[in-house]
Structure 1
C-alpha cells in the first residue's frame, strides 16, 4: 500500500482567494504526520538520489525540515536549514524568495564553494523558492547534485521550467473539482 498516495487522496481541500489547496501533513503540518508515512517518504527519497555524492542536505524552512531531518538521520549527511531570519554569522548568504504566494528574504549558512548538496523540499508549486536557492548555491560555487521534492503540484507556472534544473518528485498531483488527483504516481517527470 502506498501511504503517500492514500494520504493525498484523503487530504482535505480548502479554498483561499478562489484557489483550491490540499491540506497535508507534509506540506502543512496538519493533519498530524504519522511516522509510517514519513518513513515511506524518506525511503523513497533515499532510493531516488545518489547520496554517496552528497556532502550536505539543504532545505528551506519550515516544511522541508522534518523530511530533511529524517533523511539526515538515516544517511548521516549533515543538514543545512535555509532560514527566514538573519543571524549575521560569517559567510551568511541572503537570497530573495519569490513564490506565487509571497516574497521574502531567506538566509543560508554553512554552504561553501565545492560543497556537493542535495536540495530537498516538501512541495514544488511555483518553483520560486527552489529557483532562489539554486541561484544562491550557484553563486557560492556549490554543486547541486540533485533536487528532490516530495510532492509536485502540476498545472501552473513553474519558475524552474526551461532552466537546467530538473527536480525529482515522489508524486505529482493536481486539485480538480475539490479532489486531489494523482497525475503521476511514480513522480518521475
Structure 2
C-alpha cells in the first residue's frame, strides 16, 4: 500500500459533474478528516519552510481553503485568484481553456509586488489551463514562482506539460 492510498480513499468520485462525461474529484470528503487534512498541509508546507515565501496564491475556490492554511503555516500572506467580477478593486485578467470549457481568472493589480516569492496552489491539475493563466497573472505583476502545488493530478490530461520550467508538485496522482 502506497503512503497516499489512504488519502486517495477519502477523495470522492462524482460522475458527470459539472458536465456530462467529467469524473469530478471531490476533496470535501478528505477536507473533513482532520488527520488527512493535516497530512496534506504538512506535505505542502515542510519543503517550503526555508524558502522565504512571501505570498501563497490560491486559485478559486478550493485553492483558497488549502492556500490560506498553507500561508499561515509559512508565515506568508495569501492572495486569491478569482473568476471574473469577484474582486472589488482594479484587476488584471487572463483567459484559459478548461477540460470542459473556458474561463477567465483575475488578480488584484496590487496583490503581488515585483520580486516577491510566490507559491501557487490549486486543488487539481487537469489540462494545466487554469494554472497556466494563474502563472501569467503572478508573473505579470513581477512575482517569482517558487513552486506550484496541487493536491491532485489527473495524469492522462497532461497538464504538467503546460507548466514546464516550474517546480510542480502533486500529492495524489490519478
Q: Residue 165 of structure 2 corresponds to which residue in structure 1? A: 164
Aligned length: 168
Deviation of the 1:50 alpha carbon: 5.2
Instruction: Give TM-score scaled by structure 2 length.
Output: 0.82
Deviation of the 1:12 alpha carbon: 3.8
Name the CA shift for 1:132/1:160 in 2 (closer, same or farther; >3 Å). Answer: farther
Alignment gaps of 5+ in structure 1: 174-189
Alignment gaps of 5+ in structure 2: none
| Cα contact 1:160–1:166 (8 A) shared by 2 | no
Structure ranking higher in helix proportion? 2
Deviation of the 1:97 alpha carbon: 3.0
Q: Residue 79 of structure 1 corresponds to which residue in structure 2? A: 78
Q: Secondary structure at the match of 1:52?
A: coil
Residues 90-169 of structure 1: matches in 2 within 5 Å? Answer: 90=90, 92-109=91-108, 110-158=111-159, 160-161=161-162, 163-169=164-170
Residues 33-112 of structure 1: matches in 2 within 5 Å? Answer: 33-49=32-48, 51-86=50-85, 87=87, 89-90=89-90, 92-109=91-108, 110-112=111-113
Q: How large is the Cα RMSD of the aligned pairs?
A: 2.5
Q: Residue 187 of structure 1 corresponds to which residue in structure 2? A: none
Instruction: State the alpha-carbon separation in 1 of the partners of residues 80 and 114 from structure 2.
Output: 17
Instruction: State the alpha-carbon separation in 2 of the partners of residues 18 and 49 from structure 1.
Output: 37
Q: Residue 18 of structure 1 corresponds to which residue in structure 2? A: 21
Instruction: State the alpha-carbon separation in 2 of the partners of residues 9 and 67 from structure 1.
Output: 19
